Amino acid sequence: MSLLARPQQIVLPILREALPDVNVNTWIADVDYREFPLIIVRRFGGVRDQSHPTLFSKPIIELSAYSDVGLPECEQLYEDALEALYLAVRNQTMTEHGYLRSVRETMGASQFSSLFQDSWRIQGLLMLGIRPPRIPT
């Protein structure tokens, strides 16, 4: 059994705590249940550390922000989510499944057409340094 967590297992709790009024998920709900503002986190690729492949990984995630208010609000939502992840790295915020050692934008905030009528989407790609939970000494 791998010690490595899926990146969503670490990122979702961090973003949900930092953005309590935002729907943060890995999938988009059916139109009858969809709520904005919305952050979607999906794995996009990445690699395991060559020296310690069972302990450390550098997954790439797609971070997408959706807003039904306006483009500036959507851009701010993306920036707020990104800031929460940088803060989690700086504070070494521990989750049940591990923590973020690093965050690096591989593709910065970019406007894409939204999948939903009357809404906006800002998306970026982030490479995360993932580590398993620290064992208390």
Does the global pTM surpass 0.85?
yes
Q: How many Å from the N-terminal Cα to the C-terminal Cα in the chain?
A: 23
pLDDT at 97: 94
The encoded tokens of residue 122 equal 């800002």
Helix (H, G, I), strand (E, B) or coil at 94: coil
> CA Rg, the chain, in Å?
15
Q: How many CB atoms lie within 10 A of CB 38?
A: 22
Quick: pLDDT tens for 79-126.
999 999 999 999 999 999 999 999 999 999 988 888 877 899 999 999
The encoded tokens of residue 137 equal 């000494």
Quick: pLDDT tens for 33-81.
789 999 999 999 999 888 888 888 999 999 999 999 999 999 999 999 9
Q: What own/partner pairs with CB < 8 Å and gap ≥ 24 does 108-111 have?
A: 109/75, 109/78, 109/79, 109/82, 111/71, 111/75
